[in-house]
Chain A
């Protein structure tokens, strides 16, 4: 039970709004110490995993120069101009279409999205542009609501497209873990059983997109506190 101290540190630290990096580091040190590691061993583990996981930061770092450059030269403005010409475009439909593209492309094993590469430079200007064309200038709350939902569209499309059709990443992990226990499963059946949830995820996103459009139509985000604070 004492080994769960790290989770307690995280929960307390987040609740008391300490610096997040500090909370995470403290949780790791506490967990390591109760597991009988020395301070230097804990630092070495942090160092080892930090270096191994550089790829998580890599794509964002390499993406931002080109995104910043294009933004300076008016990419977001251009994306807005284009979407304002499309009569049928609403914020919800832009986001739903993005989720669909993301799900299908991920399922085919191609990574063509990302918060830095697509959501900031292209998806949010289009979603905001569609809202401005329909409802005029946006309040800061409306902007925040649209952007938060654009991030959600990216995440949902990314997560719930992954397991279908072409087995990638997760499927090999599943297969490896089960095989180590002497349980054999086929890659294809793992992919197949991801499809029902992928459809549910798309329908859920369709519902959220409609809710978003209705809220923007009413002029104010709903009073349920989602996104606005």
Chain B
């Protein structure tokens, strides 16, 4: 048994979303009051219900969420943040104590990953050992909220309202990563990957060792750009291009190929709006007017690392 499994935190997040939906419904001045309240309420249902809901019901809830977002019924509340003067005065009063809750999050993550994950009495474990990194970060966030409330002497509802303001700044884009992951699952079920791998393999003269390396590295990057997830691209491109050409045909080292191939996939992740959680959600969270500003900043980085990966793999994979 696990005391703090992912399911516990899903319920906490569900309750937060439910409170958020309720508070939004009560906001008379909210420009998209009812649409937003229904959107966050339905998302709360998915978090609370989770696996006990039949998947097809979740699918139709998803259809409703997308419908609300596409018809512009979901938006941020009118600005109700503390004034810059209030914030500066509070910063002056609390000074470095303000960092304590913020730093408790990484501190709990470290303690959680290295220590708490091993804590157990008989069969009762404190953290879910399969998901230690996620559960310790969640635990850190909750510890930090409690310490934060004590430190600032804020009302218990203040974190809910402030968190709700930030969630609504991100808006409907917050479910994009989950939806894209679902799309990736459907792509995999439908066999999209095999088609892509075949196309690349047929289009390039893979009888040359360098071309095989190039095809594999570019295939990983390109397919990750399409899928938004290097983990989804890896099995497809490795079985379609990497193993048959680099390892079997030219006798390359599979460990070198696979390790660097995955990193080529990460270069693709830096380039694609499909990796919404890394590229689009942060742009919303940081309130950037250009949603693609993060990707634009990453283009030179991704290209340099990708070229380096091709060269490192070509130089090493047939030699070691």
Residue ranges of A at the interface with B (Cβ–Cβ < 8 Å):
1, 3-4, 6-7, 10, 14, 18-22, 24-25, 27-28, 31-32, 34-35, 37, 40, 42-79, 81-82, 105, 109-122, 124, 140, 144-145, 147-152, 154-156, 158-160, 163, 168, 170-171, 173-174, 177-178, 181, 183, 185-186, 189-194, 196-197, 200-201, 204-205, 207-208, 225-229
Contact = CB atoms under 8 A, between A and B. Distances in A.
B173 interface: yes
Given A62-B16, A191-B259, 7 more contacts: A46-B179, A65-B160, A66-B102, A66-B148, A77-B87, A111-B109, A227-B297
B1 interface: no
A21 B172 contact: yes
Contacts of A53: 177-178, 181-182
B75 to A, nearest CB: 13
Given A62-B138, A73-B94, A50 B182 contact: yes
Contacts of A62: 9, 12-13, 16, 137-138, 141-142
A78 B266 CA distance: 34
Contact of B58 (A48, A114, A151, A156): A48
A162 B185 CA distance: 24
Contacts of A25: 62-63, 66, 179
23 contacts: A19-B70, A22-B70, A47-B56, A47-B60, A50-B58, A54-B10, A56-B277, A62-B16, A62-B141, A74-B92, A109-B133, A112-B106, A114-B137, A156-B298, A170-B262, A174-B262, A177-B239, A178-B254, A194-B260, A197-B263, A204-B304, A204-B305, A229-B293
Contacts of A35: 189-191
Interface stretch (B26-34, B45-53, B204-212): B45-53
A72 B181 contact: no
Interface of B: 6, 9-10, 12-13, 16-17, 46-47, 50-51, 53-63, 65-66, 69-70, 81-82, 84, 87-92, 94-96, 98-99, 101-102, 105-106, 109-110, 113-114, 131, 133-134, 136-138, 141-142, 144-145, 148-149, 152, 154, 158-167, 170, 172-187, 189-192, 195-196, 226, 230-231, 234-235, 238-239, 243, 247, 254-256, 258-260, 262-263, 266, 269-270, 273-274, 276-283, 285-286, 288-290, 293-294, 296-301, 304-305, 308-309, 312, 316
Which of B174, B182, B184, B281 has the largest number of chain A CB atoms within 10 A? Answer: B182
Which of B59, B136, B239 has the largest number of chain A CB atoms within 10 A? Answer: B59
B174 to A, nearest CB: 6
A7 B175 CA distance: 20
Binding site secondary structure of chain B = helix
Contacts of A171: 259
Contacts of A194: 259-260, 263
A65 B16 contact: yes
B162 A144 contact: no
B179 to A, nearest CB: 5
Contact of B87 (A50, A73, A154, A168): A73
B154 A73 contact: yes
Given A119-B282, A122-B102, A148 B288 contact: yes
Nearest to B190: A35
Contact of B174 (A1, A57, A121): A57
Given A27-B183, A45-B59, A72 B82 contact: yes
A155 B176 contact: no
A138 to B, nearest CB: 14
B294 A28 contact: no
Given A163-B262, A189-B255, A226-B297, A64 B13 contact: no
Contacts of B180: 24
B281 to A, nearest CB: 7
A28 B186 contact: yes
B270 A156 contact: yes
B236 to A, nearest CB: 10
A159 B66 contact: no
